[in-house]
A and B are shown apart, each in its own frame.
Chain A
Amino acid sequence: MDSVTHHEPEGVARQCKLRLSERGSHLPEKVLATAGFGVRLGKAKQWILDKTEIEERRIAAKDEATSDLAIFALLKVIEDTRISLADIDVIVLATATKDQPIPSTACRVQGNLGAMCAAAFDIESGSREELPLPAPSDPDVKLSLHPAPVVPVSVRSQ
């Protein structure tokens, strides 16, 4: 790293340590076990297990879209912490299975959650649906100067 002191543009600049302060997750109730799955595919359970090592996966209810799963996950974060919805400045939603092509699914999350001070947008990278999040213990995690939920969420069953 350059050891020369650098003056960042005014108003944006504060060198401070950031951390992933809270986490939460939500999985739909319905389980699709590999045994049941194998029957549909005409494959033995063991054949699928050998290929994937996946025992079971969850399936969103018919009336649940990606934003609903994201909201459940965020509500768990909010319930367990002192963060209020009004404290959230940014909502970043990582997904490859949006509610609809336009507008962003993050808008639905923001509006339905009532986090009215937050700017919300979707982000999508390569074939991985989740952002490469650093380990929560990493003291140098740079995400945002304010609480900003990062929500990796996916509804592949649709």
Chain B
Amino acid sequence: MGVGIVGTGSYLPQTVLDNAELAARIDVDIDQIVEKTGIHERRIAAPADATSDLAAWAGKRALHSAGIAANDLDVVILATGTADQPSPATACYVQAKLCAAKAVAFDVMATCSGFIYGLTIARDMLIADRSRKYVLVVGAEAYSRFVDYTRKGASALLGDGAGAVVVGRTDSGGILASRLMTDGTLAYLGGILGGGSRNPASPSTLSSGLHHVSMNGRLIRDLVANLLPGLVTELTDQLAITLSDVDLIVPHQANGTMLKEWVQILDIDPAITHETVSKYGNTGAASIPVTLDDAVQRGRLSSGDRLLSISFGAGVAWGGVIVEWTQ
């Protein structure tokens, strides 16, 4: 018996923001965007939709894929950095929209690594209490609400979307390894500075643009390149396997150019990684479940396959899991 992923689903908003439209808004060369990010287009949530709407649609599809009803859920965990509102938790809205009446719901915040943190918490909650059967873990972001579309950088990278998995009990396999790590001394590398208890929302935080995402891309890229090999080794060592025993890698879709760099650093066949960053951009905590669902839809995972998923996010918070796939 194990605890594993028994259903996946995703939701991407219909509105596409492509590089041509972005280049029309800001003075930037399209070729340069592709060269620096590998991103051709990203999705933008409809004006009336917030993070919980995207999350609920993805959650509904994951429930369908698992063949269970919302009422079967014991826990709803939402990983997001772009909550509907500061309080209460966005997970409460998702729970209500899904009519998951029996589920306890809460948000987990570990930025882009939130889904991996949430998945680990889901596994541990099922192990801790035998009476629980199913946990819905959703990663969802509406970054377009926090991006300054008059400036380079985050505007080219970030997109909106949601992905979800149902975590349940499996006869074999499941989530076999997990590792979560944090280095808060590097919290200054990226984020949204305004609107919290440090810089409460005020006319001055608004006029300074502190409600927008800011990041130091160069430093983040170098840092991740340093952390990546250690994280992968820690995970494979838990199972006494090597990377050659892994069938599919679903990394956080940070940046297409970075993903190519990761393939070189790890010295692996690019074909064993799955990417969606070129069409959806970096969707934060949603990127892993969105990309995982894409891989499942394309038939890239069979029973018994070993899936490695890794993420790095602001904080700095990073982590990974190895899952033996079950169908």
Contact = CB atoms under 8 A, between A and B. Distances in A.
B123 interface: yes
A130 interface: no
Given A6-B1, A11-B238, A142-B129, A102 B81 contact: yes
B265 to A, nearest CB: 23
Nearest to A96: B87
B218 interface: no
B317 A104 contact: yes
Interface in B192-232: 192-200, 213
B88 A102 contact: no
Given A101-B191, A122-B108, A158-B197, A6 B89 contact: no
> How large, as a class, is the contact surface on chain A?
35 or more
A103 B191 contact: yes
B211 to A, nearest CB: 8
Contacts of A109: 184
B117 A119 contact: yes
A147 B200 CA distance: 33
B149 interface: no
Main secondary structure of the interface of A (DSSP, over half): loop
Contacts of A90: 180
Contacts of A13: 127
Nearest to A145: B124
A106 interface: yes
Given A107-B317, A122-B108, A125-B105, 19 more contacts: A91-B182, A98-B109, A101-B82, A101-B146, A102-B213, A102-B314, A104-B110, A104-B315, A105-B196, A107-B187, A108-B184, A108-B187, A111-B183, A111-B187, A119-B117, A124-B88, A124-B106, A125-B89, A125-B107
Interface of B: 1-3, 81-83, 86-89, 91-92, 104-111, 114, 117, 123-124, 127-130, 146, 174-177, 180-187, 190-200, 213, 238, 313-317, 319
